[in-house]
């Protein structure tokens, strides 16, 4: 069965960087795009961007450009999101999620990783 | 960028029908997906491609989409349906996924 397993919770100071991983199993890793979605405490879902594990191409929303990097390791079936220059407002649960095409839903989700940014 | 508008909250008595709307410019031309999120859990797809239902989702969940409004309808609401619900589309202009702000469904 399809599984996305994320790395554990992180606590970071403002200005630091965080790297969250998402390990995929149960399907051919390069066949499906992986998205990152975050949710601040008590807030809604925010789509951050997407990576194509096959070629490594990425797309990010404008608010994160310059601060975000999504990468993948095909030998480990794992994708990563790296967010730098962290601010307290980056405190959120970060989810990875898989789709089966541009018009398909995000059918499979990781369990979420809480990133706390606090001095 | 494309904006999806949902009512922040909705309260329904058990056994009644919950109707959650998602407004967007010509959203009827887009494929809309709906997610249910319970506290502390990842979202789960309850309706996709406007009106299709994944296996395991009760028939009580249905969807429609026309004009400027997409709708998620939950018939015969149960206590277990209490959750946050989000609509989502693929904005072809920006090639981004977009979520609505979410609707908190309270079962009285």
Mean pLDDT, chain A, integer: 96
Give me the pLDDT at residue B2, please.
93
Which chain A residues touch B if contact means CB-CB below 8 Å? 35, 37, 44-47, 50, 59, 61, 95, 97, 102-107, 109-112
| CA–centroid distance for A22 within its chain | 7
Distance between CA atoms of A48 and A37, rounded to whole angstroms?
Answer: 5
Give me the pLDDT at residue B59, please.
97
- Statement: residue B1 has pLDDT above 90: no
Residues of chain B neighbouring A1 (CB-CB closer than 8 A): none
Contacts of B82 (CB under 8 A, 6+ apart): B105, B106, B107
| Residue A16 tokens, joined | 């630091």
Mean pLDDT, chain B, integer: 97
Distance between CA atoms of A91 and A70, rounded to whole angstroms?
Answer: 18
Residue B99 banded pLDDT, cuts 50, 70, 90: very high
CA distance A62 to chain B (A): 10
Report yes or no: A2 and A26 within 8 Å, Cβ to Cβ. Answer: yes
Can you state the percent helix, strand and coil of chain B, rounding each to 5? 5, 50, 45
Give me the pLDDT at residue A103, please.
85
Give me the pLDDT at residue A101, please.
82
DSSP state of B2: -
Report yes or no: A10 and A16 within 8 Å, Cβ to Cβ. Answer: no
DSSP state of B108: -
| Lowest-pLDDT choice from A71-80, B6-15, B90-99 | B90-99
CA distance A86 to chain B (A): 23
B54 forms bridges with which residues in the sheet?
A: none
Give me the pLDDT at residue A11, please.
98
Question: Measured between alpha carbons, how far is residue B15 from residues B20, B81, B84, B108 in Å?
Answer: 16, 11, 18, 10
Instruction: Collect the ranges in chain A with pLDDT lower than 70.
Output: none
Cβ contact, residue pair B33, A50, below 8 Å: no
Q: Which residue has the tokens 């979202």?
A: B43
Cβ contact, residue pair B98, A44, below 8 Å: no
Helices (H), A25-105: none
């Amino acid at each position: 069965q399809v599984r996305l397993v994320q790395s554990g919770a992180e606590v970071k100071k403002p200005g630091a960087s965080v790297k969250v991983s998402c390990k995929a199993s149960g399907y051919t890793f390069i066949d499906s795009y992986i998205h990152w979605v975050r949710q601040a405490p008590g807030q809604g879902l925010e789509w951050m961007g997407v990576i194509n594990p096959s070629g490594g191409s990425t797309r990010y929303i404008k608010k994160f450009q310059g601060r975000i990097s999504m990468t993948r390791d095909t030998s480990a079936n794992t994708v990563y999101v790296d967010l730098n220059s962290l601010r307290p407002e980056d405190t959120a649960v970060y989810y990875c999620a898989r789709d089966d095409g541009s018009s398909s839903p995000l059918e499979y989700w990781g369990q979420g990783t809480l990133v706390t940014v606090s001095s | 960028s494309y904006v999806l508008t949902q009512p922040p909250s909705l309260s329904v008595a058990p056994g009644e029908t919950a109707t959650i709307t998602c407004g967007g410019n010509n959203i009827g031309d887009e494929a809309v997906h709906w997610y249910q999120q319970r506290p502390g859990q990842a979202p789960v797809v309850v309706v996709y491609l406007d009106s299709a239902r994944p296996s395991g989702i009760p028939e009580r969940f249905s969807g429609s989409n026309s004009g400027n409004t997409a709708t998620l309808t939950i018939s015969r609401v149960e206590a277990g349906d209490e959750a946050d619900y989000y609509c989502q589309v693929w904005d072809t202009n920006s090639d981004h996924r977009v979520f609505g702000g979410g609707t908190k469904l309270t079962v009285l």
